[in-house]
Amino acid sequence: MNYTYRTMASPVGELTLLASERGLAAVLWEDDDPGRVRLEPRVKGGHHPLLDAAGRQLCEYFAGQRQAFDLPLDFKGTDFQKRVWAALLTIPYGETRSYADIARQIGKPSACRAVGAANGRNPISIVAPCHRVVGANGALTGFAGGLNAKRYLLELEGRSFAAD
């Protein structure tokens, strides 16, 4: 399977959008670890309706005009990862959940660390809002886009955090 991609500028840096024939497969960060999400081969795309829609919806999100995305998604991962990523999609705009909350939601209350690992490998950043997952004490925790990007996204959604 080939993945069509394009890049877009955003307030949190350049994002790379990847699509398969089934849906949006990834939103990657400018300095993303190349081993974090492995979707190959990639073909640079011109006009692609799904990438057009994803780019437009992300721009609307960053402008404060969109709180939910309406895109077909094509997650690639293990069954456990897909369960975690599906749980991310249920976190409302402007709210956060802890890793323990997600572990309980998917019926694996003792799997907090595994949930954290799956969250860190979420290929469809922002759209599947892994930035809305915080530590048990509400603190900002690791994020593929960096903690500054995580803070920016949460503040965009109306959350505020003390500077570290």
Q: Hey, which residues are catalytic here?
A: 130
Beta carbons within 10 angstroms of residue 6's beta carbon: 18
Q: Identify the CA nearest to 28 among candidates 114, 99, 148, 121.
A: 121
For residue 124, list its beta bridge partners: 27
Question: Residue 12 and residue 73: Cα distance in Å, rounded?
Answer: 22
List the beta strands (DSSP E) in 1-158.
3-8, 15-19, 24-28, 42-44, 97-98, 133-134
Instruction: Show the tokens assigned to 128.
Output: 């599947």
- Assign residue 29 a region: left if phi > 0, alpha if psi is -120 to 50, beta otherwise? beta
